[in-house]
Amino acid sequence: MKRSDLIELLVLAAIWGASFLFMRVAAPEFGAVATAAVRVAGASLFLLPLLGLREGLGDLRTHWKGLLLVGLLNSAFPFALFSFAALSINAGLSSILNATTPMWGALVAWAWFGQRLDGSRMLGLALGFAGVVLLAWDKASFKPGGSGFAIVACLIAALSYGIAASATKRYLTGASPLAVATGSQFAAALLLAAPAWTLRPAALPSGHAWGAVALLALLCTGIAYILFFRLMKRVGPTNTISVTFLIPVFGLLWGWIFLGETLSTSMAAGCLVVLLGTALAVGVLKLPSTSPPATS
């Protein structure tokens, strides 16, 4: 990987890590669904002209059914769930739970495409789930004021991302990356429009909340997608997916700097276990081979 690609990877991780910070600021005033709706609507307005100028809108018409499905699974549903979680858990914890996405993706690919799970991947899945248990052990209360529902929401959102990855592979292979990014955001905006209007905030959100949701739309969604797909093209999916392991670092860092969040020992330990499990589950790390050496 070239130095310029590595810098872009770090920038992308920093941007996506910041999305959890912006949701913490926006969601209390907008509400979870409206935060997600404004995010995808803004990203659509940013991406649609780019797609029209560069490639035209033909892919949107050809693949509209697949884009509608991916828009639901990769944007509308998980964005609303993470915004809901931001109402009660800190940005750092949300970003760590988001890092389970490739682990869920490996599990979905096994169930959907019959992709083989070797010993390393199975150990990774077990470790990843153990890390989630460690993270949630003293927080997953479902009583009023507890964080149980927020943690479950993050895990369902990560699972939705994992399903979306397989759905993209199955239904949108013929569409360009920019068309997938644009079409999925536009579809998500359509899907969220009615519920967001129904659940709109009673009072006009503050300037800080509007600024946070604008950054979510333009920076964390529009620009981030362009960086992501450019890296996918230049360095391949295996290298690009390593951004997943960097996002919690920035999520924790931005939460500490801007929101005064703290990192507990159990959260740090759970984060390391989740990241190790995810690295094994997606094949970034592998167990050493135990097969005997070949003899001549």
pLDDT digits (tens, 9 = 90+) for 177-191: 899 999 999 999 999
Instruction: Read off the pLDDT of each residue in 214-219 and give the average, rounded to a whole number.
Output: 98
Tell me, yes or no, whether 142 lies in a domain: yes
Tell me, yes or no, whether 207 lies in a domain: yes
Tell me, yes or no, whether 286 lies in a domain: no
pLDDT reading at 121 higher than 90: no
Considering its fold, how many domains does the chain have in total?
A: 1
The average confidence (pLDDT) of the chain is 89
Number of Cβ within a 10 Å radius of residue 222: 21
The phi and psi torsions of 284 (rounded to 5 degrees) equal: -65, -40
Selection from 166, 30, 135, 152 nearest residue 81 by Cα: 152
Selection from 214, 248, 212, 82 nearest residue 158 by Cα: 82
Tell me, yes or no, whether 291 lies in a domain: no
Greater confidence, 11 or 267?
11
pTM of the model: 0.89
Tell me, yes or no, whether 289 lies in a domain: no
pLDDT reading at 285 higher than 90: no
**Under the phi-then-psi rule, with left for phi > 0, alpha for psi from -120 to 50, and beta for the rest, what region is 201?**
beta
pLDDT at 230: 82
Tell me, yes or no, whether 292 lies in a domain: no
Tell me, yes or no, whether 294 lies in a domain: no
- Summarised one tens digit per residue, pLDDT across range 185-211 is 999 999 999 999 999 999 999 999 999
pLDDT at 110: 86
Selection from 221, 240, 204 nearest residue 46 by Cα: 221
- Check residue 86 and report its DSSP letter: T
Which domain covers residue 147, as residue numbers?
3-281
- Summarised one tens digit per residue, pLDDT across range 234-265 is 887 667 777 888 899 999 999 999 999 988 88
pLDDT at 263: 81
Tell me, yes or no, whether 12 lies in a domain: yes
